[in-house]
Amino acid sequence: MSLTVTLNTASSGLLAAQAGLQAVSDNISNVNTPGYVRKTITQEQLVVNGMGQGVNVTGVKRVTDQYLQTASLTAGSDAARWDAYSKFMDNAQSLFGDPSGAGYFFNDTDKIYSAFASAANDPSSSLLRTQALTSTQDLLNDATRINTQISSLRSTVDSQVSDDVAKVNGLLKQISDLNTDISRANVTGGDSSGSQNIQGQLVNQLSALMSVKVTNRDGGGVTVRSPEGTLLAGDGYSVLSYNRTDATRGYISAQTPGAGVPQPITMAGGEMAGLLDLRDNKLPGLSDQLGEFVQGATDQLNAAHNASTAVPAPTSLTGRDTGLDLPTAVSGFTGTSTVAILNAAGVVQKTVAIDFTAGTMSVNSGPGVAFTPANFLTSLNTALGASGSASFSATGALSVAATGTNGVAIDEGTSMKAGKAFSHFFGLNDIVRSNGTGAYQTGLKGTDNNGFTPGGTITLALAQPDGKPIRNVTVTIPAITSPLMSDLLSALNNNATGVGLYGSFSLDANGALSFTGAPPANANISVAQDTTQRGVGGVSMSQLFGLGVTQRSARASSFSVDPGLLGDPTGLALGKLNLGVAAGTPAISAGDGTGAVALAAAGNVVTTFNAAGDLGNVSMTVSGYAAEFGGSIGRAAADADAKKTSSAAVQTEADTRRQSVEGVNIDEELVRLTTYQQAYNASARMIQAAKDLFDVLTAIVN
């Protein structure tokens, strides 16, 4: 071996040792730097003409483990999702109050029933009547407050998703830019570990916002894709957009470089997945369930109040806007009901017994006169004669009034439609009113006229359970003679122009319309636009049936105690009409509290609650539903907190294992430091030996 080869070999070892010492020095100095990944040098034997001539340092690399990186990113994404979800669920639960405290929302119904029980003991007490009405209004005020705050939470979540999308777009651009820097450094043989460390931290931040798939690029850097494989960052970067309206589900789309149309992407994890789940599922579900609870609770109060009467009887009774035409509203009733006209002393002046099953009206127990749903109003006015009158508004509100100083009271009898008696169905004597349709049990059957103006349209947005859009379907009200509800259902469920490929609409026995998604898409619907109208100036399809998040979420805020009762508590119906008394004997009396007893027991009456929030279709008491609802909120919050805790534990474990590979270990670095020092010394001694030999040879020659 020549002296030149010896010197070259020794100097290459010296340079390799210096490079190793530099890497160790960087590692030790960054031992506490967050996101720093330790690095080592890569070296190989230098061979010239088949002869080993030292060592060649081919580069500096970060010590990483692809599997542990993926596990850490996945765990971090999951932890961020449940952290955001748990935070907002905790806020939502707190809106209902402390279950052990007096201000707990679900205690409000008990206060109402207690107040009416007290009023039953002293029906003449104006104070007890006022307290009962105030307790009822308190429940409705609390429901409105909670629902408003849930809506505010949803708006906050919506804004945070927008902010997160902006953050993601910034991160994707930085990751892509760093790919260029890293590739350039690798081509020139430079140390790109610093840029890679920064990029790694950016990827960690990105995975906390959304789930991503990360792979290493051949030229250095990383390629980032969405769970379904859409390119987010690599050679260039995508721009994400947040697409939603107040009425439709939100989703994220990505505009990839060179692509024409943005493509929806899946939010399988990360903070945005948790936020979108809250915005589109959990929070609207809470509002819907709150509305269903208030509807059920007030419906039973209204049922008891409609079956009772004030003393003296009111001069008129005005019903709610059913959204139906009278023939359709009257059709389907069974059993009997009696309208009574009473004088100021409570003595019956006239009775009109309505037998819906037989289709007859009988005045003062006389022979029955036939009627049909089409001429019901005319027949009732004829039967009332000079004693009273009945009218029906364009929006579907029935009114019955007595003439002069007389009053009107109704005996519900055995009448029934959609689970409600005659007066209750029309809301003639409701204690709680709604500025919307409130109840979605319309009583409509497939054989009823649907009543919607032909040509009106409803646009339904179909989406997957994760919010990714499927398509929008615009359904037109059929323009046919005597269109039935079955015709409307056929139009809605049409495979070509309706939702038939993705699910179906159906009417239940009480006339409630619902949509059920079909596999494999298991689609859900939102109402993007609704120009339908029932009759002239009537309600739309979404209003009548409660379709879409807008209608369902607003329902809980639509209830209030009848203003007339709040202004005059003596109008509270705490007595019962007794048509079995002898002629000339008052059928109602001022000291009668049987109506108040029924109001106090309203919480123990089994009622049907439609599917809403976490609960499906159930039949139970109002008190039982309150317990289930309160429990479901607590369980949801506890479940979210448990998932947050467990996912955080998984993330900690994944990060620990990743750190054990990628992090700096001082003891290991000291060993490497010693090794490189010794190698440096050895190479230096070889150079010194070559120098000494060269000096000897030079002296010999001289």
Considering the domain boundaries, does residue 483 fall inside one? yes
* Average pLDDT score over residue span 592-599: 96
* Average pLDDT score over residue span 126-142: 96
Q: What is the pLDDT of residues 366-398, one digit of tens each?
A: 999 999 999 999 999 999 999 999 999 988 999
The rounded distance, in Å, linking the Cα atoms of 188 and 498 is 61
Considering the domain boundaries, does residue 71 fall inside one? no
* Average pLDDT score over residue span 340-368: 97
CB 576 within 8 A of CB 309: yes
- Asked if the model's pLDDT at residue 272 lies above 80, the reply is yes
- Number of domains into which the chain is organized: 3
Considering the domain boundaries, does residue 344 fall inside one? no
Considering the domain boundaries, does residue 228 fall inside one? yes
The three-state secondary structure class of 65 is: coil
The pLDDT score that the predictor gives to residue 616 is 87
Structure-token pair, residue 549: 């998040």
DSSP one-letter code for 629: H
Tokens 């009053």 -> residue: 407
Considering the domain boundaries, does residue 185 fall inside one? yes
The pLDDT score that the predictor gives to residue 11 is 85
Q: What average pLDDT does the chain have?
A: 92
The rounded distance, in Å, linking the Cα atoms of 105 and 84 is 25
Q: What is the pLDDT of residues 526-562, one digit of tens each?
A: 999 999 999 878 899 999 999 999 898 999 999 999 9
- Asked if the model's pLDDT at residue 584 lies above 70, the reply is yes
CB 265 within 8 A of CB 253: yes
Considering the domain boundaries, does residue 464 fall inside one? yes
- Asked if the model's pLDDT at residue 350 lies above 60, the reply is yes
* Average pLDDT score over residue span 609-630: 91
- How many CB atoms within 10 Å of residue 31? 13
Domain final residue, candidates 545, 563, 578: 545
Considering the domain boundaries, does residue 601 fall inside one? no
Considering the domain boundaries, does residue 174 fall inside one? yes
Q: What is the pLDDT of residues 216-233, one digit of tens each?
A: 998 889 999 999 999 999
Nearest to 344 by CA among 403, 292, 394: 403
| Per-residue confidence band for 65, with pLDDT thresholds at 50, 70 and 90 | confident
Nearest to 23 by CA among 9, 43, 7, 45: 43
- Asked if the model's pLDDT at residue 269 lies above 80, the reply is yes
Structure-token pair, residue 421: 């008696």
| Strand-pair category, 360-363 with 369-370 | antiparallel
Structure-token pair, residue 574: 């705490």
The rounded distance, in Å, linking the Cα atoms of 485 and 492 is 10
The rounded distance, in Å, linking the Cα atoms of 635 and 410 is 44
Domain final residue, candidates 511, 545, 579: 545
Structure-token pair, residue 408: 């009107």
| Per-residue confidence band for 664, with pLDDT thresholds at 50, 70 and 90 | confident
The rounded distance, in Å, linking the Cα atoms of 574 and 595 is 4
Domain final residue, candidates 499, 524, 545: 545
The pLDDT score that the predictor gives to residue 308 is 97
- Asked if the model's pLDDT at residue 39 lies above 90, the reply is no
The rounded distance, in Å, linking the Cα atoms of 547 and 515 is 9
- Asked if the model's pLDDT at residue 592 lies above 90, the reply is yes
* Average pLDDT score over residue span 320-339: 95
The pLDDT score that the predictor gives to residue 201 is 93
* Average pLDDT score over residue span 57-78: 86
Q: Which spans in 50-125 are helix H?
A: 66-94, 108-121
Q: What percent of the chain has pLDDT over 90?
A: 70
| Per-residue confidence band for 676, with pLDDT thresholds at 50, 70 and 90 | confident
The rounded distance, in Å, linking the Cα atoms of 580 and 576 is 12
The pLDDT score that the predictor gives to residue 349 is 97
CB 426 within 8 A of CB 399: no
The rounded distance, in Å, linking the Cα atoms of 115 and 108 is 11
Q: Is 236 left (phi over 0), alpha (psi -120 to 50) or beta?
A: left
For 620, residues 6+ apart whose C-beta sits below 8 A from its C-beta are: 606, 607, 609, 628
Tokens 């990839």 -> residue: 256
Structure-token pair, residue 63: 């010590």
Angle at 200 between CA 199 and CA 206, to 5 degrees: 90
- Asked if the model's pLDDT at residue 260 lies above 80, the reply is no
Q: What is the pLDDT of residues 425-452, one digit of tens each?
A: 999 999 999 987 778 899 999 999 999 9
The pLDDT score that the predictor gives to residue 37 is 86
The rounded distance, in Å, linking the Cα atoms of 50 and 70 is 42
In degrees and rounded to multiples of 5, residue 648 shows phi and psi of -65, -35
* Average pLDDT score over residue span 131-140: 97
Q: What is the pLDDT of residues 177-211, one digit of tens each?
A: 999 999 888 887 778 888 888 999 999 999 999 99
Q: What is the pLDDT of residues 89-124, one digit of tens each?
A: 999 999 999 998 888 999 999 999 999 999 999 999
Catalogue the E-assigned strands of 384-436.
388-392, 398-402, 407-411, 432-434
Helices 283-306, 66-94: crossing angle, 10 deg rounding = 30
The rounded distance, in Å, linking the Cα atoms of 626 and 288 is 14
Residue type, 674: T
The rounded distance, in Å, linking the Cα atoms of 615 and 676 is 68
Structural domain containing residue 188: 161-280
| Per-residue confidence band for 1, with pLDDT thresholds at 50, 70 and 90 | low
Q: What is the pLDDT of residues 683-695, one digit of tens each?
A: 888 888 878 887 8
The pLDDT score that the predictor gives to residue 42 is 82
